């Protein structure tokens, strides 16, 4: 059940009226407030005027495609975005994640699965239910309460998923996590619903932000055949 004191607003962007109708019906039934947009430009206008808490964004849109919409959004907001894509190729999924998407769902999809992913992304993006301490390391500091990261004295912008992934590693230094474990523990998902390459992309983005040399990482280390480990 959604938090009764807070009703998240979800913007559903798809040029197919039937897809919008079905997705909105499921979300409405689960207690969300829904908005609709039929193309990329309308989506940007809706975001500016209504400030939704999450966007379900189709990739193949008229006027402005989903990737372009996402790129434009990330210039001014970290609002969580779940991409809908008919493209199953890894390169398309990776592109969306590198542009700043929080998650993606491949068409055709189960509306129940999409609702679960919406809940998971909103849970990650929302305020913590328990206080998170400030964690200090040699090259960076994680301010859990403010959800901010400072790397070598400079504030670094991190979307909610990147922050949560880094925090997860930092709270368990030297522990090896497989990609499946990270999907379950950080994303609230699993490898049946979500491609493990999601983890790989986010690890690469974190390395670009915290490592001195992202191509030779010393802190987010790959443990071949097993997963990843954080070295404080």
Domain ranges, ordered by start, for the chain: 9-125, 134-230
The Cβ-side half-sphere exposure at 164, using a 13 Å CA radius, reads 21
The Cβ-side half-sphere exposure at 181, using a 13 Å CA radius, reads 10
Is residue 165 within 8 Å of residue 206, measured between CB atoms?
A: yes
Architecture of the domain whose range is 134-230 = Orthogonal Bundle (1.10)
Asked whether the domain spanning 134-230 has the same topology as the one spanning 9-125, the reply is: no
pLDDT for residue 1 is more than 70: no
Is residue 165 within 8 Å of residue 186, measured between CB atoms?
A: yes
Q: How would residue 155 be classed by pLDDT, with cut points 50, 70 and 90?
A: very high
Q: How would residue 64 be classed by pLDDT, with cut points 50, 70 and 90?
A: very high
143: which 2 tokens? Answer: 């301010």
The chain-wide mean pLDDT, for the chain, equals 87
Q: How would residue 90 be classed by pLDDT, with cut points 50, 70 and 90?
A: low
Whole-prediction pTM: 0.72
pLDDT for residue 166 is more than 70: yes
What's 9-125's CATH class?
A: alpha beta
Least confident of 20-24, 27-31, 194-198: 194-198
């Amino acid at each position: 059940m959604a938090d009764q004191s807070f009703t998240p607003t979800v913007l559903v962007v798809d040029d197919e009226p039937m897809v919008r109708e079905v997705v909105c019906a499921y979300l409405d039934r689960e207690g969300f407030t829904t908005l609709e947009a039929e193309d990329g430009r309308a989506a940007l206008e809706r975001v500016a005027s209504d400030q939704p808490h999450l966007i379900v964004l189709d990739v193949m849109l008229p006027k402005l495609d989903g990737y372009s919409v996402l790129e434009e959004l990330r210039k001014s907001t970290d609002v969580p975005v779940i991409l809908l894509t008919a493209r199953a190729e890894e390169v398309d999924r990776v592109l969306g994640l590198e542009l700043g998407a929080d998650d993606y769902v491949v068409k055709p999809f189960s509306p129940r699965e999409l609702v679960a992913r919406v809940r998971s992304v909103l849970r990650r993006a929302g305020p913590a239910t328990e206080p998170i301490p400030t964690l200090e390391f040699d090259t960076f500091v994680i301010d859990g309460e403010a959800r901010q990261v400072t790397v070598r004295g400079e504030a670094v912008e991190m979307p909610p998923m990147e922050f949560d992934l880094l925090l997860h590693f930092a709270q368990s230094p030297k522990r090896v996590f497989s990609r499946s474990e990270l999907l379950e523990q950080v994303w609230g998902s699993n490898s049946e619903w979500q491609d493990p390459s999601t983890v790989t992309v986010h690890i690469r983005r974190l390395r670009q932000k915290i490592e001195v040399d992202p191509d030779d990482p010393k802190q987010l280390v790959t443990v071949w055949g097993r997963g990843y480990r954080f070295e404080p």
